[in-house]
Amino acid sequence: MAERSTSYRLTRRQQLGYGLGSFGTGGFGVVPGLLLAFYLTDSLGVAAGLAGFVVFAPKVWDVVISPIVGRLTDRTLATRGDRRPWLLAGALVLPLFFALTFLVPPGLTGAPAALWVAVFFLLAASGYVLFQVPYVTMPTELTDNPAERTTITAWRIAFLTVAILLFGVTAPMLVQAGGGNRGGYALMGIVLGVGIALGMFGAWRGTRGITMVQLGEVSGTVRQQLRAAAGNRPFIMLLAAFILQAVATGAMLAGAPYLARYILGSEGLTAVLFGCLVGPALLVMPIWHKIAGVIGKRNGFVAATVVFAAGSTGLLAARSLPPVGVYLLVGVVGIGYAGLQLFPLAMLPDTLAEDSRVTGSSRAGIFTGVWTAGETTGLALGPFLVVSFVLGLSGYVASTGDQTVIQPDSAMRAIVWSTSLVPALFALLSIPFVLAHRTPAVLEESEVSA
């Protein structure tokens, strides 16, 4: 594959086209984490322990296939010159099975309903891997200009932020508009499935005609390249921090509907809580970007993590606070959450490019396969911990949506913990790994900020 000239610049259409992909992946990333566990326990009558397993189990499969898909996309890049066929495959698979996940046939409750959701959620998650692995890799190869790479990442984060806010707020609203329970979730699955498809197909079409930068030769088996990923200390440190923070945000999202219904008194307030969480990101993302320019990405990453953990810890008082107090604390969490979205995505392309520079090998595909596996594991482990352990062991009572249940006090405490102690703990655990992430770019930033 021929190398592209360093004088080449992407057009605005190509930059926007790439960014559109995050509109689709952001939608899929947020909706199941926000509503799937609650859908299982409070509409389908699935016990909390089983519901947590259903949300988590398909991600184990993703952990297996993500590095393999990454390796295959490396081969596609070497032979074809780009990874775009994999974007198309994911766009064909994910939206369809996302919708089917929320279209459980009437009459299915409990374990049979859980089986339906598990099968189609696994297929949807597989489609996500097919798209996400090559998609995350592409900024490293779309350009060899660091400033342009930052611009591409900024467009991706902008679309991701809009998608998280739009899908996260409209998903519970669509459920309510459809009458709640099964009908509401079916409407939500179909409408948002179309939205996810638009973003994914937009990225596939919008990135056509770009000649990818050749970073090196593809060499070694999957096992050998996995060993290489494991031996890259900066990558592993960044990945460990990212996984722990994905657990934190996954727990926060999974706990939000329970907090809305049982602490604030209305399931419909889930949309308000989510707006408070993600809305600040639209305002403070540029501020985090400027902070990074002053103190460096790594230090900015730590600062955002501390803000996230502080807001989460404050939610321990949710049962005694007025609703506006809860909203304000969730807003503080959202300020930190914006940084947790920005910094790892900005640091990953630099880490991959440095690996290619040092080794002379093109291993970005398998590295991002491992990254995607870590992301999906963390986002699934958060709801699993909240639903199967925190709620499951607290005596939480599942229902089919048309039932009125009174939760024991132990379950009410567990609901608060799921949006306070659990997210704060995992966020704080990530800080040592962020500080241990060292690349030439990070060291250069440290010298400048000093």
Running along the chain, 450 residues long, what does each successive block of 10 average in pLDDT?
50 85 89 89 89 84 82 82 89 96 92 95 93 84 71 79 87 90 93 95 86 55 64 86 92 88 85 86 83 86 95 94 94 92 82 73 70 79 80 79 76 89 94 84 48
Is residue 37 helix, strand or coil?
Answer: helix
Helix 323-359 and helix 146-177, axial crossing angle in degrees, nearest 10: 140
- Residue 179 dihedral angles phi and psi, to the nearest 5°: 90, 5
Question: Which residues have a Cβ under 8 Å from the Cβ of 320 and sit 6 or more positions away?
Answer: none
Is residue 376 helix, strand or coil?
Answer: helix
Is residue 420 helix, strand or coil?
Answer: coil
pLDDT in the model for residue 215: 52
pLDDT in the model for residue 262: 87
| Residue with tokens 């352990």, as numbered in its chain | 389
CA torsion through residues 234, 237, 243, 249, sign:
negative
CATH homologous superfamily for the domain 12-203+221-449:
MFS general substrate transporter like domains (1.20.1250.20)
C-alpha distances in Å from residue 368, one per residue of 148, 229, 345: 20, 10, 11
pLDDT in the model for residue 371: 79
Residue 231 amino acid letter: G
pLDDT in the model for residue 99: 96
Is residue 361 helix, strand or coil?
Answer: strand
pLDDT in the model for residue 113: 94
pLDDT in the model for residue 411: 87
pLDDT in the model for residue 291: 87
